[in-house]
Amino acid sequence: MRLLPFVLVRWLARPLAPLRALVAGQWLRVSEVDGVLAWLHPALRLNRVFARVEGRSWVAEDMLALRLRCNGNAHGWQAGQHVQVFLTLDGVRHSRSYSLTRVAPDGYVELAIRRQPGGRLSNQLLDHLSIGDVIELGQAQGDLQWPEQAQGVLLLAAGSGVTPLLGLLREALARGITAPITLLHYVREHGQRAFVDELQQLMTHYPNLIVRWALTGASERERDGRLSACHLEGLTADHALACGPAGFVQRATQLWPGALQSEAFTAPTRTSAVGSSVQLRFARSRQQAQGDSARSLLEQAEDAGLRPAHGCRQGICASCTCTLLTGTVRDLRNGALFSEPGQPIRLCISAPHADVEIDL
């Protein structure tokens, strides 16, 4: 039911401030207030971000740009950050993290969503989300920033890693940045090159921008291969931003000699090997389980029947953060060990190194 038009939903964000004060003072429950607001319009909430789908456009064979307009609860978002998209499928709430390729001051944002083979949520968004639908988003997170003082900027992207970099690039060019910029985008095949028309137009308008695509899986004649030192020769840049799967970002870090910001989004490599046996204790749930030291605590908590909050399952969104009470955990991305009681850990990228107790 929509008793209010969406334009009023955005306008109401400020007048709802007294209700927020009452919730903060525990005079009202947020769930009760949200229940009434959602009855007026499905995007109207006290604090949570809901957005209406305003447009859809395919920007690669396997990538869709979604144009959304948020209710008034998205504050301080920046292009290049990422947000969780929440969707309930068959009664189960799912979420995934996607990058903001555009953020406008009037509440419009753009997300680029790549199809994941077998990915329930991405396939649902790509194939079934329609203009006018309302979806829930998390708050934006992420630290990638345009290096304002750089004399030259190199943007290194692999796969959907191009999406946060495109967001930053659009804003930098619109602000009049004149330093030389090179974008190198690695994709398996031609059809996976994203935003090609727009990037070619940008190259025409901004002579300081060069965009190149490197094919890693095409026929031998066309193949450029994976990121290597010779791809970086002769580039005019003193600062690089790299975004893509963990292996790609690691390679960029090894090869690029200058300043570098990076964001890796691939889930840690799963091993089928069973590690040594460990005891897992989930304090708040008062449960114990026999676990192993090879797999993430998120997987093992789920195997034990718990349903920890989570989003990206890749160590990015922080929604699975939990407190380590006792024991030692290992970061699956780099092997670092953490054993300080009270330390926040991300369950999706942490494996028990020995017996552990966590506040779950």
Q: How far is the CB of 269 from ligand FES (least distance, A)?
A: 16
The stretch among 29-37, 107-115, 119-127, 316-324 that binds ligand FES (CB under 6 A) is 316-324
Q: How far is the CB of 318 from ligand FES (least distance, A)?
A: 5
In the bound state with ligand FES, the residue whose beta carbon lies nearer, of 161 and 311, is 311
The stretch among 202-210, 234-242, 273-281, 306-314 that binds ligand FES (CB under 6 A) is 306-314
Query: Would you count residue 85 as binding ligand FES (CB under 6 A)?
Result: no
Sole binder of ligand FES in the list 114, 170, 281, 346 (CB under 6 A)? 346
Query: Would you count residue 317 as binding ligand FES (CB under 6 A)?
Result: yes
How many residues touch ligand FES under the rule CB under 6 A: the total is: 12
Query: Would you count residue 150 as binding ligand FES (CB under 6 A)?
Result: no
Query: Would you count residue 308 as binding ligand FES (CB under 6 A)?
Result: no
Query: Would you count residue 348 as binding ligand FES (CB under 6 A)?
Result: yes
Sole binder of ligand FES in the list 10, 96, 295, 310 (CB under 6 A)? 310
In the bound state with ligand FES, the residue whose beta carbon lies nearer, of 13 and 358, is 358
Query: Residue 221 has which token pair?
Result: 């004649």
Residue/partner pairs of 47-51 with CB below 8 Å, 24 or more apart: 47/20, 47/73, 48/73, 48/136, 49/73, 49/74, 49/83, 49/136, 49/137, 49/138, 49/139, 50/134, 50/135, 50/136, 50/137, 51/109, 51/134, 51/135, 51/136, 51/137
- For the chain, what is the HEC assignment? CCCCCHHHHHHCCCCCHHHHHHHHCCCCCHHHHHHHHHHHCCCCCCCCEEEEEEEEEEEECCEEEEEEEECCCCCCCCCCCEEEEEEEECCEEEEEEEEEEEECCCCEEEEEEECCCCCHHHHHHHHHCCCCCEEEECCCECCCCCCCCCCCEEEEEEHHHHHHHHHHHHHHHHCCCCCCEEEEEEECCHHHCCCHHHHHHHHHHCCCEEEEEEECCCCCCCCCCCCCHHHHCCCCCCEEEEEECHHHHHHHHHHCCCEEEEEECCCCCCCCCCCCEEEEEECCCCEEEEEECCCCHHHHHHHCCCCCCCCCCCCCCCCCEEEEEEEEEEECCCCCEECCCCCEEEHHHEEEEEEEEECC
Q: How far is the CB of 346 from ligand FES (least distance, A)?
A: 4
Query: Would you count residue 140 as binding ligand FES (CB under 6 A)?
Result: no
The stretch among 4-12, 67-75, 137-145, 305-313 that binds ligand FES (CB under 6 A) is 305-313
In the bound state with ligand FES, the residue whose beta carbon lies nearer, of 49 and 298, is 298
Query: Would you count residue 72 as binding ligand FES (CB under 6 A)?
Result: no
Q: How far is the CB of 71 from ligand FES (least distance, A)?
A: 23
Query: Would you count residue 41 as binding ligand FES (CB under 6 A)?
Result: no
Radius of gyration of the chain (CA): 22
Sole binder of ligand FES in the list 319, 327, 353, 358 (CB under 6 A)? 319
* Side-chain half-sphere exposure of 298, counting CA atoms within 13 A: 24
Query: Would you count residue 100 as binding ligand FES (CB under 6 A)?
Result: no
Query: Would you count residue 137 as binding ligand FES (CB under 6 A)?
Result: no
Q: How far is the CB of 336 from ligand FES (least distance, A)?
A: 16
The stretch among 44-52, 145-153, 275-283, 307-315 that binds ligand FES (CB under 6 A) is 307-315
Q: How far is the CB of 33 from ligand FES (least distance, A)?
A: 28
Contact between 207 and 178 under an 8 Å Cβ cutoff? The reply is no
Q: How far is the CB of 114 from ligand FES (least distance, A)?
A: 17
Query: Would you count residue 320 as binding ligand FES (CB under 6 A)?
Result: yes
The stretch among 7-15, 162-170, 191-199, 315-323 that binds ligand FES (CB under 6 A) is 315-323
Query: Would you count residue 297 as binding ligand FES (CB under 6 A)?
Result: no
Sites of contact with ligand FES (CB under 6 A):
310-313, 315-320, 346, 348
